[in-house]
């Protein structure tokens, strides 16, 4: 599942991201309310951790904007602990409230509780046109690709290729099959063409292209996207 962490303190964002990733979540980052709203327009987010005091657009007003069109859980983060701030945050549409500094185990427990309630109540819908394998996400509606929450810029041909393989993660496609599916024409000695695009995609989605995690070669047969379980 995808969680958006929004706080103007980058160290706090990174610390929370580590806890969440270790628990199997994909993390998106924002550093003010305007950034958060932009991420929501571009990505499928299932829960937001929202700081209150931020520049440009604070957490309270951002939550109000989110509630105009979305019902995803929002957990407020703040250094303040007064009851009036908690009440105000909840009245603005937040689902929960946690004060800094917080215990990571408590934060994760609250995240799981809100996601469980969100999915149980039926607000969460898995979109059929979003294909995932671990941290690799291909959103065919947005025509976007992300790895561990970070956007990846691909050419149209590269996008078609990674969509084909991710949509069918675990299945091995021969070079001829990849060429015919992506270029929509019969293949004729397509080895170099496909290999060049595979190399470019690896350079964009892999931490170490020489030891790829996602885009694997099956020697003598073709290529595949490794199938990983999604939380």
Verify that 156 and 115 share a domain, yes or no: no
* 8 A C-beta contact, residue 130 and residue 189: no
Q: pLDDT for 175-203, tens place per residue? A: 999 999 999 888 777 788 899 999 999 99
**Considering the entire predicted model, what is its pTM?**
0.54
Q: Domain limits at 152? A: 130-225
What is the tens place of the pLDDT at every residue in 51-67? 988 988 988 899 999 98
Q: What is the DSSP string of the chain?
A: -EEEEE-S-HHHHHHHHHHHHHTT-EEEEESSHHHHHHHHHHS--SEEEEESS-SSS-HHHHHHHHHTT----EEEEES---HHHHHHHHHTT-SEEEESS--HHHHHHHHHHHHHHHHHTT-----TTEEEETTEEEETTTTEEEETTEEE---HHHHHHHHHHHHTTT--B-HHHHHHHHH-S--SS-HHHHHHHHHHHHHHH-SSTTS-SSEEEETTTEEEEPP----
What is the average per-residue pLDDT within 61-74? Answer: 88
C-alpha distances in angstroms, 71 versus 75, 125, 156?
Answer: 12, 12, 33
* pLDDT tens-digit series, residues 144-178: 899 887 889 999 999 999 999 999 999 999 999 99
Contact call for residues 113 and 202 (beta carbons, < 8 A): no
Query: Are 139 and 129 contacting, i.e. CB atoms less than 8 angstroms apart?
Result: yes
**Domain end call among 52, 85, 120:** 120
Q: How confident is the model at residue 231 (pLDDT cuts 50, 70, 90)?
A: very low
Report the domain count for the chain: 2
Q: Is residue 230 part of a domain?
A: no
Tell me whether residue 162 is in a domain. yes
Same domain (yes/no): 67, 31: yes
CB 144 within 8 A of CB 130: no
For residues 40 and 135, membership in a common domain is answered with no
């Amino acid at each position: 599942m995808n969680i958006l962490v929004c706080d103007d303190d980058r160290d706090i964002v990174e610390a929370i991201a580590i806890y969440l990733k270790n628990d199997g979540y994909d993390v998106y980052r924002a550093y003010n309310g305007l950034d958060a709203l932009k991420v929501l327009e571009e990505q499928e987010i299932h829960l937001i951790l929202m700081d209150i005091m931020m520049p440009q657009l604070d957490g309270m007003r951002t939550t109000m904007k989110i509630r105009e069109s979305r019902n995803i859980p929002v957990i407020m983060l703040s250094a303040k602990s007064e009851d009036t701030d908690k009440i105000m945050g909840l009245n603005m549409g937040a689902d929960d409230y946690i004060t800094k500094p917080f215990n990571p185990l408590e934060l994760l427990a609250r995240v799981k509780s809100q996601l469980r309630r969100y999915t149980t109540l039926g607000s969460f819908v898995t979109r059929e046109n979003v294909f995932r394998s671990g941290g690799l996400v291909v959103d065919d509606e947005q025509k976007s690709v992300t790895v561990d929450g970070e956007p990846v810029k691909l050419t149209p041909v590269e996008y078609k290729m990674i969509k084909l393989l991710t949509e069918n993660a675990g299945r091995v496609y021969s070079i001829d099959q990849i060429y015919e599916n992506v270029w929509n024409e019969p293949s004729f000695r397509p080895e170099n063409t496909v290999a060049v695009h595979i190399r470019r995609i690896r350079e964009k989605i892999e931490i170490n292209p020489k030891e790829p995690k996602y885009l694997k070669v099956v020697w003598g047969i073709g290529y595949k996207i490794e199938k990983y379980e999604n939380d």
